[in-house]
Amino acid sequence: MRIVLIALFLVSSIAASSWADIYRYIDDKGVVCYTDAPLNRKAEKVLRTEPSVIQRDSPNPAVQRDFHSIVVDKASKYEMDPSLVHAVIKTESNGNPRAVSKKGAMGLMQLMPTTASDLAVRNPFDPEENIDGGTRYLKYLIERFNGDLTLALAAYNAGPNMVQKTGSVPQITETKQYVKKVLSLYNGRTVLPVPSPASLVPPSGPKTEPIYKVLTEDGSVLFTNSPLYNYKKTPRF
């Protein structure tokens, strides 16, 4: 059975004033799910949160942890500048490992469910796994766009196919602001060395699929790459 990834939308970046632990379980259809409401299922807790209001850009010291050692380790592993990885983390999640965007992107480097699955990131809320996957994906994009960091960052935000199609930063306000912010935080070279074209291979895993927003019968919202998932509504996201 094909395994797909489903991420439960956690109400605007897990903004809640109560406990919001995150669990991982596999349902009876073999689908991997992340949720803050396991509903008596046999689930593995993958993230424990504190009983306080948490937002994507929260300056809460409990959220703003120092991930420098992990960043340095992963940047070295993939021959990347740690300052660039830090700039992406700051822009993506403001250093909040529990951040979830309205589109369903998760963790420090805001990995979409299908991207996390392609990168074999089992728990996107784990800082080490997230930074490893995000750094590896950014490295791939830099190589794909021949060392052009501006285009690679645009692809990280808007998707590589969109950038490949236009050959430039898409005329999307969010994407243009994203690229500008990362580059201003990084303040480094925007043209980077890349290996020979023969070594440019995408991260392991299946081809990225579209994401669908699903409203279940109990009112929960799920994000999934399976349009056939058996719920009432499956509008394409």
Q: Which two tokens stand for residue 140?
A: 């791939």
Q: Which of 44, 50, 79, 92 is catalytic?
A: 92
- From residue 43, alpha-carbon distances to 18, 36, 119, 229 in Å are 20, 10, 22, 20
Contacts of 226 (CB under 8 A, 6+ apart): 4, 6, 31, 212
Question: Could you confirm whether 129 is annotated as catalytic?
Answer: no
Q: What is the dihedral of CA 52, 53, 56, 62, to 10 degrees?
A: -30
Q: Which two tokens stand for residue 90?
A: 């700051």
Q: Which two tokens stand for residue 33?
A: 């799910």
* Residues designated catalytic: 92
